[in-house]
Structure formats: structure tokens, C-alpha cells
Amino acid sequence: MSATATGPLGGQRILLCVGGGIAAYKALELVRRLRDAGASVQVAMTAGAQQFVTPLSFQALSGHPARTTLWDSAAEQAMGHLELARWADRVVVAPATADLLARLAHGLADDLVTTLCLATEAPLSVAPAMNHRMWRHPATVANVALLRSRGVQVIGPDDGPLAEGESGPGRLSEPDAIVDGLAGAPAAGRTPATGLLQGLKVVVSAGPTYEDLDPVRYLGNRSSGKMGFAVAASAARQGAQVVLVAGPVQLETPPGVQRVDVRSAAQMREAVAAALPADVYIGAAAVADYTPRAFSPDKIKKTGTGETLALDLVRTPDILAEVARQEDAGLKLVVGFAAETTNVADYARQKLEAKRLDLIVANRVGVPGAGFESDDNAMTAYWPGGERDFPAAPKVRLADGLVELVAERLGA
């Protein structure tokens, strides 16, 4: 059976890398589901995977010999491993064991699967499967965070009964759920056929920044990142190539979005600069206005009789204003947010002018059911000579409205 142009993965070339866990048997069904969804599939297996399922089974289901080692000269002659890495529109690792995630996170290339993942330029998706204690281990948590920060899509794992009779998060997602996850994320060189922002690059900042005072304390704020993540997801759905620069937040990376995690205002500034040039910049992050003049390497102690403590803070660079001033960044539209507790419209208009923005989105914060942390918001967008109200609604819906307005202003 060859790949068909129809189906959610129509015509895509998927390289499925199978890791060595008991869930490897489910990867057989995954091959079938990927092909049903219109993809053509080639399979590479780790040595561990071959302990659970045979290469022959994958060959029968995929229609191609499964690759098992870097050192097979006949297979290399038919299609070199670098050629296979280039062939793929996307690479999917399922099941991704704790060991495989660690090796991928740290860029090892000590077997066929890790070499293919390092050599490919196609987007990488991983579907983890392991014991729940291994999934929760700080080492695995850090490895998954590192992979996410590089834009790797993580699908699952599910919560439920595990092979060894225990229960918890660690089950490989069902093949249909993996196919759905892949269908929501663009593959290499492919963007949705239609979309208001198709062909444009959009950089979005989201979440708070944390300014470290000493090894135990930092200055932060209440931003959850929900608004910025919703904007990034909406722009990606509209066909944009999206880079999301995220402060410390607990949110999943939206499908098809390249995420860069940062902590401080200084790191956010650096990551935003590295993501440019772009067509659109949307600053939804709540960047700290002040940061400690110096980081104290030792915990700041209470002084003998002192009832008060004065912190010596200095201004952070205004990332948004810097981006708006940058003339060689190719930007067609720079969008800011204004979080205000009073005089919302006045302060927003002042920021629009002072920071030389094309558009500013004002929202009232400090009220229940809107602003920071909440799933809902209400906002008004201002641009020179116009404004638009976005009445109270879930942030995901408001983000769609804002992205439509961005597309309109780009065409204005």
C-alpha cells in the first residue's frame, strides 16, 4: 500500500523509531494507523526494541525493511541512514523509553535511532512509555523539558495500568491518539493549505519572567502564559511558523509551535533577538520591569535588628520597544499587551505611542475572571486611528480574534 494524498497525514513520509519497551508491540498497530491516515512509513528499531518485536513484523506492516543497525552494509547501500533522515517529513519515536529520551535530550548518536534523530531536520515527536516512577524522576522530567524547549512534540503518556501491575502515568498513548497528535502539528516543509498567516513567521513571548535574588528567592509575577500560548497556537493554526519564547510556565507546547524556554528578562531578550527576523512580534509576556542589581550567591540573611529590607533594583531592557525600533528585523507588525489596573485605555494608548507599536492589546488585571491566571479575559485592541473590543470570553477564543485582527492589520 502506498501513501495516499487523503487522510489527516496525507502523503507524509514518517520515520517511526521504535524504542525498547514492552509497549513496542503497540508500535505495530501504530504503523497500520499511520498508513490508514495516508502516510508512508519506514521503521528504525533500537536493539532493545528487537527484544520485544521482530523487524520482520514491521517490514510486513510498513512495506519496507525495518532498519536495525548503523552497521548493515546491504541496508546502507539501499538507502544510507543520512538519506533516510532526509527522506522523513517527520520523525516519531514510539515508544520513547526513559533511556531514549535522555539520549535524545543530550544529543547522543550512539546507535541508529539516535543518529537518525540527530541527523534529521524534520520535526520530532516522541510518545513516552515507561514505569510511572521513571516518568516522574527529576532526570526524566528535566530531559522532557529540554526536548520541549527545542520544539519537540511530546504526545502522552497516558495514565493507567502499567505492564508490571502498577498504575500511573507512563502508558504509551493509543495509536489513534498518536495519529491525532501528529495530525495537529505541521511536518517539514508543510503548512496548512490555507490560513490567514500562511507563509509568515510570528514570534510570540508569553508568561512571566523570574528575576533571581539569591539561590532561594526570585521576583516574579502572576502571569500563567495562557494568553500568549493561546495566541501562539492560533497563529500556528493559521499557517504561521511560530516561535514561542516562554517564561517559566506549566503549559504544554501547542502543536506545530517551536518553543524556547527562558527564565529572566535578560534571557527573554536574548531568545527574542535570536528568533528574529520575523514578520510579526507579539509581546504577551509579563516581563519584569526591574531586576536585582546583583545576584547574591548566598542566601540573603535577616539582619540583626532590621525590620525592613531594601532591595537594590535596576530597570530591565524593554524588549518590546527594542523590537519595535529594530529596522533590520523584517517586522511588518509589532503587537504589545498592556496589563493595567486603572485608566486602561489611556495607559494603553500611551504605550502604543511611546513604544512605537502597530497595535496594543489592553486588559484589566487584578479583577476576578480576567487578566492573569484566569482561563478567560476581556480586552480592547488599539492602533493608530482605530480600536476593537473583545468582550469577555475564553483566552483561546480571544486569541483567534486577535490573530484575525493581526491578519487584517497586515493587509491594511
Query: Measured from the CB atom, is 72 or 376 closer to ligand PMT?
Result: 376
Distances (CA, A) of 250 to 141, 224, 229, 317: 12, 8, 11, 25
Residue 217 CB, nearest distance to ligand PMT (Å)? 20
Q: Is 351 annotated as a binding residue?
A: yes
Greatest CA separation for the chain: 80
Q: Is 377 a catalytic residue?
A: no
Amino acid at the residue 241: Q
Q: How far is CA 304 from CA 113, 215, 297, 298, 307, in A?
A: 59, 21, 20, 17, 9
| Measured CA angle at 229 (ends 380, 267), to 5 deg | 105
Cite the beta strand spans of 305-401 per DSSP E.
313-315, 333-340, 359-364, 376-383, 386-394
Is residue 317 part of an annotated ligand binding site? yes
**Residue ranges that bind ligand PMT, judged by CB under 6 A:** 205, 207, 223-228, 265, 283-287, 289, 316, 318-320, 336-339, 351, 363, 365, 371-373, 377
Annotation-wise, does 201 bind a ligand?
Answer: no
Identify which of residues 161 and 369 has a Cβ nearer to ligand PMT in the complex: 369
- Residue 254 CB, shortest distance to ligand PMT, in Å, is 14
Among residues 181 and 207, whose Cβ is nearest to ligand PMT?
Answer: 207
Separation between Cα atoms, residue 207 and residue 223, nearest integer Å: 5
**Residue whose CB is less far from ligand PMT, 99 or 322:** 322
Q: Is the dihedral of CA 259, 12, 154, 102 positive or negative?
A: negative
Minimum Å gap between C-beta 362 and ligand PMT is 8
Catalytic residue among 131, 143, 221, 377: 221
Euclidean distance between CA atoms 9 and 92, whole angstroms: 13
- Angle at Cα 198 formed by Cα 193 and Cα 200, nearest 5°? 155
Q: Judging by DSSP bridges, how do beta strands 40-45 and 13-18 pair with one another?
A: parallel
Q: Is 355 annotated as a binding residue?
A: yes
**Is residue 320 marked as binding?**
yes
Pick the closest to residue 202 from 170, 251, 238 (CA basis).
238
Smallest gap from Cβ 352 to ligand PMT, in A, equals 10
Residue 231 C-beta: closest distance to ligand PMT, Å: 9
Compare residues 262 and 285 and give the one whose CB is closer to ligand PMT.
285
Name the binding residues for CTP.
289, 299, 317-320, 337, 351, 355
Name the binding residues.
289, 299, 317-320, 337, 351, 355
Which residues are marked as active site?
221
